[in-house]
Amino acid sequence: MKQLKFLLCFAVLTIAQSVSADTVIPGGAVSGMWVTANSPFVIGGDIYVDAADSLIIEPGVIVRFEGWYKVDVYGILKALGTAADSVTFTCDTAAIQERWGGLRFSEGSSASRLEYSVIEYARASDYWRPYEETKGGGLYFSTSSPVVSHCSIRHNIAPTYYGGGMSATYGASPVFTACDFVDNHAQYGGAVNLEQSADPVFNDCDFIGNSATLNADEFYGGGGGAVNMVFYAAPQFNRCVFAGNSAF
């Protein structure tokens, strides 16, 4: 009987430990390494990687946002998933209807890498936020050229303006390889918005089921169900698939 009680107590303690395994990040500067054993990482405020710092995220880590909080990258962010175990940036849209604020790469972050990662259910800001934050629901690149490979950018929105999946501006030239842009939505550029001499490269990427709410507009260059390009943007699309995208 004593042995049975001991086993029951041990089981209860084990369950309690597994339930309380969340790592809470309240906001502010982040750096170092986020390991799978401490996943999920629950984000309770805006976080940023400083210019002199780096943050490396292991395969299998889930980064879950508890509100409209964003990740500003001024240094190096490496989310290094694998084919068998991705890194996921997400939120519970049933509980957090405002979603989260996406990954935003600024000058100095070009050594960043996203590999086998999922960026989903993010949202660019509305009118009352700073203008640049209305661009790029899932990803935003300004004067920055990280490498993004084997990632899924899905179910993200830019309800006010540009680039539901991603937006690149001010000469940004990220390289995307074997990435999927699926079910993203914006007013201009459902999946991708490119402007101000941005020249990203897309190799073997799929653009599926993305949408924009506006048709061609002479000044802004058009709704662009999959891609919107203005102001000297010069992207390359190599062996990419476009299917089921729409503007209306």
For the segment 57-105, what is each residue's pLDDT rounded down to a tens digit?
Answer: 999 999 999 999 999 999 999 999 999 999 999 999 888 888 999 999 9
Cβ proximity of 103 and 79 under 8 Å? no
Query: How many domains would you assign to the chain?
Result: 1
Please say if the pLDDT value at position 147 is more than 60. Answer: yes
pLDDT mean over 227-241: 95
Question: Both tokens of residue 69?
Answer: 């909080």
Q: Is 87 contained in some domain?
A: yes
159: preceding bond cis by omega (within 30 degrees): no
Q: How do residues 170-201 score in pLDDT, each as one tens digit?
A: 999 999 999 999 999 999 999 999 999 999 99
CA distance 19 to 30: 24
Cβ proximity of 61 and 41 under 8 Å? yes
Q: Which position has the higher pLDDT, 215 or 68?
A: 68
CA distance 148 to 229: 20
Question: Both tokens of residue 60?
Answer: 């299998």
Q: Is 98 contained in some domain?
A: yes
Question: Phi first, then psi: what are they for 7, rounded to 5°?
Answer: -65, -40
pLDDT mean over 34-38: 97
Question: How much is the pLDDT for 126?
Answer: 81
Please say if the pLDDT value at position 141 is more than 50. Answer: yes
Question: How much is the pLDDT for 20?
Answer: 44
Q: Is 10 contained in some domain?
A: no
Q: How do residues 151-176 score in pLDDT, each as one tens digit?
A: 999 999 998 889 999 999 999 999 99
pLDDT classification of 223: cutoffs 50, 70, 90:
confident
Question: How much is the pLDDT for 13?
Answer: 37
Q: Is 4 contained in some domain?
A: no
Q: Is 7 contained in some domain?
A: no
pLDDT classification of 24: cutoffs 50, 70, 90:
very high
Q: Is 14 contained in some domain?
A: no
CA distance 218 to 44: 41
Give which of 216, 146, 199, 157 is closest to 182, Cα–Cα. Answer: 157
Q: Is 15 contained in some domain?
A: no
- Please give the residue range of the domain that contains residue 142: 23-247
pLDDT mean over 225-247: 95
Please say if the pLDDT value at position 115 is more than 50. Answer: yes
Single pTM value for the model = 0.89
With pLDDT > 90 as the criterion, what percentage of the chain qualifies?
Answer: 77
CA distance 120 to 140: 14
Question: How much is the pLDDT for 57?
Answer: 98
Question: How much is the pLDDT for 248?
Answer: 82
146: preceding bond cis by omega (within 30 degrees): no
SS (H, E, C) 190-212: CCEEECCCCCCEEECCEEECCEE
Q: Is 143 contained in some domain?
A: yes
Please say if the pLDDT value at position 133 is more than 80. Answer: yes
Question: How much is the pLDDT for 213?
Answer: 86
Please say if the pLDDT value at position 43 is more than 50. Answer: yes
Average of per-residue pLDDT values in the chain: 89
